[in-house]
């Protein structure tokens, strides 16, 4: 069966494309009463730089902090996000599945 050009799979997969990253981590320590969260985001700015954003604070209470780091390449930014994630996991945080919007 003949298909018109441009129909169906184009051969590119999502793993080859540069994508934004969004990771949510939470820590529950019932003995000390600590309930904390950390959100790591990686996205491209309008100027082509890559922004690593870290938002952390207590769950259900005021306070917290937000930090941004701007990097020139996706690989460097992704390694920074992975280093932050690994550091938080060593401190007892657990990744929480997050569903992002389709667009």
d(CA 13, CA 72): 24
Name the one residue in this structure whose structure tokens are 């959100």.
Answer: 39
Is residue 3 pLDDT above 80, yes or no?
no
Is residue 99 pLDDT above 80, yes or no?
no
Per-residue model confidence as pLDDT tens digits over 76-85: 999 999 999 9
The confidence score (pLDDT) of residue 97 equals: 84
Per-residue model confidence as pLDDT tens digits over 37-82: 999 999 999 999 999 999 999 988 888 899 999 999 999 999 999 9
- pLDDT, average across residues 16-26: 84
């Amino acid at each position: 069966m003949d298909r018109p050009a441009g129909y169906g799979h184009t051969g590119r997969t999502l793993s080859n494309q540069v994508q934004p990253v969004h990771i949510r981590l939470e820590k529950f320590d019932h003995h000390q009463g600590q309930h904390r969260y950390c959100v790591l985001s990686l996205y491209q700015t309008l100027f082509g730089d890559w922004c690593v954003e870290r938002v952390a604070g207590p769950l259900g209470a005021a306070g917290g902090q937000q930090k941004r780091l701007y990097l020139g390449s996706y690989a460097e930014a992704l390694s920074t996000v992975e280093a932050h994630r690994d550091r938080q996991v060593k401190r007892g945080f657990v990744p929480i599945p997050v569903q992002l919007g389709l667009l």
